[in-house]
Amino acid sequence: MYLDPAFYATLTGLTRVRTPEVVSTERTGDRVRMKIRYTFTADLPAAALAVVDPGKLTWIDDTTYDLAGLTSTTKLLPDNYADRFSAAARSAITSTSADPPRASREVEGDVNVRMPFVGGQVERAIVSGLREHLQDEERLAARWLASRG
């Protein structure tokens, strides 16, 4: 599902970002690298607005999937503010049931915001938004998979 560009087109109505745009997909053996562009749309804390233009909060989600190991690594590459922001994550998928087939994905990562006085507040807001995004994505993924039979 995560390797199918058609899946990302169905991610409409996300809470904090626009529908993502698949920029590129490269496959080499059991590895697939996808780059997906996101645009932030939620409100920011007032303190953050003093140093960040919400219209410039776009980034590439650069994820490499290891199909044999059922893992992935992700870097978020900001189009702007790269000197102030970095984020990376790792995920693993494990089977939780064979009949019916079910799986679980565990995601762990780091978010760093380098802004005096408000960096920690912005980090917490981003982490909260990422959690919310993953919950939205899970709901939409279940719907997408159900529509495939």
How far CA 46 is from CA of 24, 50, 53, 94, 149, in Å, comes to: 35, 7, 11, 40, 45
Over residues 117-133, the mean pLDDT reads 81
Over residues 99-112, the mean pLDDT reads 88
Specify the pLDDT at position 98.
84
DSSP 2-69: TT-HHHHHT--S-SSBPPPEEEEEEEETTEEEEEEEEEB-S---HHHHTT--GGG-EEEEEEEEETTT
Specify the pLDDT at position 108.
94
- How does pLDDT run across 68-100, given as a tens digit for each residue? 999 999 999 999 999 989 999 999 999 888 887
Specify the pLDDT at position 53.
86
Choice between 54 and 49, residue whose per-residue pLDDT is larger? 54
